[in-house]
Structure 1
Amino acid sequence: MSQPQSDDKKRPNYDEGLESDGTSTLDTINALIVEDRKHDIKLRTMSWQKAAWLLAGEQVCLAIMSQSWSLSVLGWVPGIITMVVSGVLFWTTSMTLHKFIMKYPQIKDICDFGYYAFGKSKIAYAFSAFMLLANNILLIGFHILTGAKVLNTLSDHSLCTVVFSVIVMIMGIVLSLPRTLHHVSFMSMFSSFCMAISILLFLIFAGIEAAPLVGYNGDYPTDGPVRTYAFPLPGTTWVNCMNAVLNITFLWVPQILFPTFISEMEKPQDFPKALAVLTGISVVLFIVPPAIGFRYLGQYSTAPAFGSLGVVSYKKASFAFVIVPTLIIGAIYANVSAKFVFFKVMGNSKHAHSNTVVGWGVWIGLMAIIWIIAFIFSEVVPSMGDFLSLLGAAFDSFFGFIFYAVAYWNLYRTKLFAGAARSVKTLMHLFILLCGLFLLGPGLYAAVEAIIADYSGSITPAFSCANLAL
């Protein structure tokens, strides 16, 4: 994978004399906007309000419904502490990311971010490019699998699961066709609304039903009355605890997409406003519904929590709305992935920014290829849940922690301890670096151990028609 050589050669050099005080940065942003206005397809058009919807659409997802399981593994105290600390680190790293992009406004994606953060390193760029595509395609595959689960559940497995997966894949390709995130942000509003309804219905049903039905340790009441606890139950393995932590951090680490989002804002300097909206929504949705779910499901909590509901009609009614965010979030990841490859293929030709047959043909072709590869992953991987833990350890360790500790050092390396406030932030970013290294070391080990356990047991054959209904 090549470094962003065309950017440095085919447009003004914006690296010289950039400061983080915003003076020359605003001039650079204005120059980029003027350049964008010359194109037929304009990318830098999102307001901060549209960006907030796009962020919410990407973050308000099915993974929220797996957090009750994390609490059931960790218990109240470690679980809530992990959630709160993850939220604080999310805000801190996201603000550092934005400040770094304000120093280098020409950054278009996480690959450019890695290139500049690591001293214009071609190796960092190639590494980031591989990680971006691998992470996003695997996540799209997870959403295809989730969509197939929804259709299996609603239809009582009326068709082969592979057929449902193909249906989801085709719908995903169609929804992914808009080339600007401005248009995708409109879909994100609907996605957030549907996921909110799904969560609300789940909470109502979990509260009014007599008892949950299914748990990983047996159907109710095999494992006794529903109960909650402050710390992990006796016999809980370290691997389970680590995977529960990875499950939480995975939900709080969406920064891999943020540089692309910022690059399509009309005023990138307004990103903190959108981030503040997202953080407020996330704090409520990532902690309150999982806590209520754990309260009513206790040790019977599953991932996602819909699977524990005892009344089939409750399960179907609440799970049905998940199909919308499943497709739209997949479309967001597909857009970012396709856009990265598209501009590598098209460069600065007229096809990159105009409504030409070649431009649209390449765009649609790339989108189809991305979804087809993701479909294949969704069919051959034995447990997408464990592979999400692998994503959290291998990818989020960099894109959620390590990258921003390095970026912070680049921003303030001459004044890391200039005053009490700066010293506190420096120590916090040191902690962020250690968190990333911890996920990359012990976290990756735990994820691999879980996958090995999957392969040692019964494995669903590839492209199976097996029923995946909850």
Structure 2
Amino acid sequence: MSTLEKIDEKKHGYTLGTVADESGSIDTIAALVAADHQHDIKLRTMSWKKTACLLAGEQVCLAIMAQSWSLSVLGWVPGIITMLLSGILFWITSMTMHKYIMKYPQILDICDFGYHVFGRSKAAYVFSAFMLLANNILLIGFHILTGAKILNTLSDHSLCTAVFSVIATIMGIVMAVPRTLQHVSFMSMFSSAFMGLAILLFLIFAGIENAPLYGYGGNYPSLGPVKTYAFPLPGTTWVNCMNAVLNITFLWVPQILFPSFIAEMERPQEFPKALAVLTAISVILFIVPPAIGFRYLGQYSTAPAFGSLGVVSYKKASFGFVIVPTLIIGVIYANVTAKFVYLRIMGKSKHAHSHTVIGWGVWILVMVVIWVLGFVFAEVIPSMGDFLSLLSAAFDSFFGFIYFAVAYWQLNRGMLFRGPFQTLMTLTNIFILAVGLFMLGPGLYAAVEAIIADYSGSTNPAFSCANMAI
């Protein structure tokens, strides 16, 4: 029997895991790639360089511009420590994920990952599937809302905000038609470049203007001269601090998509190269621009930081470039989400991997439904900023920490304390598990409290025409 024939075909021709394949041998990977390349639509085609572009396109995002606000809440010391610690844990958990997937190279997405990690549990698979769909569709909604904010800002609210949301949704659907991540990775290069340009312009404008204009506590100079501080200011609530921490961890926890990216690599064993590129980019962009932003905006920092700029032309010139990464990142999440749904509809039929009318029709229909659901969430949620904290607490606690602490235990059972380094890594993963549980408990409570506060105040009605420009 060939390597591929040993693979359990419970789902669309790929393994959910068998003892024979637990070694994650190169032969198994080669067999999976060979089987995929027999299809009209080939998925396992990305090199590590294209994967690096895809990772950067997904990570270099608007959330970077919310980190100055996090620093304004936490202060320099807790803020920078949280950023550095999040980066270290990101690298460790991502490498654990890769090692586990190399043991089970047939894993296609985070749902397969959860199925394996929790003892081939169907309940874990269903739970992971629900979380994947909920997380991704809410994030697509966030990007639709962001697109509407950008169009509002650039046009001085020339149209109803709901109309701008419809425009962003239609643009997203059209851009999301390609079915392979290799095609999306090409778009990701433009996403990273435009986001980088927006960040650069913001830093220049923040540095040359006399003072920021807008702050959550009041407009300049009502809060006094711009200042920075080492620790949270007196009166800062625990809920605000927790939401600032969740805001940082949200940026550093993209692993929910990583199994899907690895599954479309021709040589998934080279994923650490792409991860190293992403980590180097992230350490610079996730810390340096927010720190500079906090230096010039101080207690007037907003999320995103573009909103604090005092000169309208500066705000438009920098924030306008964000429209490209906003749509492309939405496309990345939509592709992974649609692929999960599509392959479960099509199963092992010829339409799943062929250029047929039925195949393309179902793919486009699934994509439309996903973006429409995202549009609905974008219109009915009062504050997407607080919902990002909710996403971080409810989803990233599992997909950024808990899943990978369990994966480490599965990979190292029987030798958790074998030698100083192994002991250190075991203790680190116990800490990772504790962080995930803390986010799931107190973190989730803080996020919900912030949302309740939003609903108790003045909120825009659903499908509102109200001006949402920053």
Q: C-alpha separation between the residues in 2 aligned to 1:458 and 1:313?
A: 29
Partner of 1:277: 277
1:134-171 CA-partner distances (Å, limit 9, x unpaired): 00000000000000000000000000001100000000
Are 2:103 and 1:103 equivalent residues in the alignment? yes
Shift of 1:8: 5.9
Are 2:124 and 1:124 equivalent residues in the alignment? yes
Q: C-alpha separation between the residues in 2 aligned to 1:286 and 1:356?
A: 43
Q: C-alpha separation between the residues in 2 aligned to 1:226 and 1:10?
A: 60
| Contact kept in structure 2, 1:93 and 1:401, CA below 8 Å | yes
Partner of 1:44: 44
Partner of 1:189: 189
1:265-299 CA-partner distances (Å, limit 9, x unpaired): 00000000000000000000000000000000000
Partner of 1:365: 365
Partner of 1:35: 35
Shift of 1:11: 5.5
Shift of 1:7: 3.1
1:165–1:430 distance in 2 versus 1, CA, 3 Å = same
Letter in 1 for 2:359: G
Letter in 1 for 2:164: F
1:104–1:457 distance in 2 versus 1, CA, 3 Å = same
| Contact kept in structure 1, 2:243 and 2:389, CA below 8 Å | yes
SS at match of 1:273: helix
Deviates more, 1:413-422 or 1:302-311: 413-422
Partner of 2:326: 326
1:365-400 CA-partner distances (Å, limit 9, x unpaired): 000000000000000011111111000000000000
Partner of 1:83: 83
Partner of 1:417: 417
Letter in 2 for 1:63: A
Equivalent residues in 2 for 1:124-143, closer than 5 Å: 124-143=124-143
Partner of 1:263: 263
Partner of 2:4: none
Shift of 1:37: 1.0
Shift of 1:16: 1.9
| Contact kept in structure 1, 2:15 and 2:107, CA below 8 Å | no
Q: C-alpha separation between the residues in 2 aligned to 1:63 and 1:415?
A: 39
Letter in 2 for 1:72: S
SS at match of 2:317: helix
Partner of 2:342: 342
Q: C-alpha separation between the residues in 2 aligned to 1:15 and 1:407?
A: 17
Partner of 1:233: 233
Q: C-alpha separation between the residues in 2 aligned to 1:257 and 1:299?
A: 34
Q: C-alpha separation between the residues in 2 aligned to 1:204 and 1:405?
A: 41
Q: C-alpha separation between the residues in 2 aligned to 1:461 and 1:18?
A: 53
Shift of 1:25: 1.7
Deviates more, 1:7-16 or 1:386-395: 7-16
| Contact kept in structure 1, 2:16 and 2:106, CA below 8 Å | no
Shift of 1:14: 5.3
Partner of 1:383: 383
SS at match of 2:19: coil
1:12–1:171 distance in 2 versus 1, CA, 3 Å = closer
Shift of 1:125: 0.3
Shift of 1:10: 4.7
* Identity across matched positions, percent: 76
Q: C-alpha separation between the residues in 1 aligned to 2:54 and 2:402?
A: 25
1:167-202 CA-partner distances (Å, limit 9, x unpaired): 000000001000000000000000000000000000
| Contact kept in structure 1, 2:8 and 2:18, CA below 8 Å | no
Letter in 2 for 1:43: L
Partner of 1:147: 147
Shift of 1:17: 3.3
Shift of 1:414: 1.2
Shift of 1:328: 0.1
Partner of 2:20: 17
SS at match of 1:7: coil
Are 2:206 and 1:206 equivalent residues in the alignment? yes
Q: C-alpha separation between the residues in 2 aligned to 1:422 and 1:317?
A: 50
1:181–1:231 distance in 2 versus 1, CA, 3 Å = same
Residue among 10, 23, 29 paired with 1:7: 10
Q: C-alpha separation between the residues in 2 aligned to 1:285 and 1:244?
A: 18
SS at match of 2:25: helix
Letter in 1 for 2:298: G
Partner of 1:442: 442
| Contact kept in structure 1, 2:382 and 2:460, CA below 8 Å | yes
Letter in 2 for 1:428: T
1:93-137 CA-partner distances (Å, limit 9, x unpaired): 000000000000010000000000000001100000000000000
Q: C-alpha separation between the residues in 2 aligned to 1:427 and 1:324?
A: 42
Q: C-alpha separation between the residues in 1 aligned to 2:8 and 2:30?
A: 22
SS at match of 2:197: helix
Equivalent residues in 2 for 1:385-400, closer than 5 Å: 385-400=385-400
Q: Could you say what the CA RMSD is over the residues aligned between the two structures, in angstroms? A: 1.3
Q: C-alpha separation between the residues in 1 aligned to 2:407 and 2:388?
A: 26
| Contact kept in structure 2, 1:6 and 1:347, CA below 8 Å | no
SS at match of 1:42: coil
Are 2:281 and 1:298 equivalent residues in the alignment? no
Q: C-alpha separation between the residues in 1 aligned to 2:21 and 2:343?
A: 25
Q: C-alpha separation between the residues in 2 aligned to 1:51 and 1:251?
A: 19
Shift of 1:9: 8.7
Q: C-alpha separation between the residues in 1 aligned to 2:8 and 2:145?
A: 37
Q: Any runs of at least 4 consecutive aligned residues in structure 1 with deviations exceeding 6 A, and if so which? A: none
1:212-237 CA-partner distances (Å, limit 9, x unpaired): 00001100000000000000000000
Are 2:70 and 1:70 equivalent residues in the alignment? yes
Q: Extract unaligned runs of 5+ from structure 2.
A: 1-6
Partner of 2:167: 167
TM-score (norm 1): 0.97
Q: C-alpha separation between the residues in 2 aligned to 1:6 and 1:16?
A: 14
Letter in 2 for 1:81: I
Shift of 1:6: 5.0
Equivalent residue pairs, number = 464
TM-score (norm 2): 0.97
Q: C-alpha separation between the residues in 1 aligned to 2:342 and 2:9?
A: 13
Shift of 1:32: 0.2
Q: C-alpha separation between the residues in 2 aligned to 1:128 and 1:394?
A: 12
Q: C-alpha separation between the residues in 2 aligned to 1:429 and 1:65?
A: 30
Q: C-alpha separation between the residues in 1 aligned to 2:153 and 2:16?
A: 54
Q: C-alpha separation between the residues in 2 aligned to 1:70 and 1:450?
A: 15
Letter in 2 for 1:260: S
| Contact kept in structure 2, 1:14 and 1:28, CA below 8 Å | no
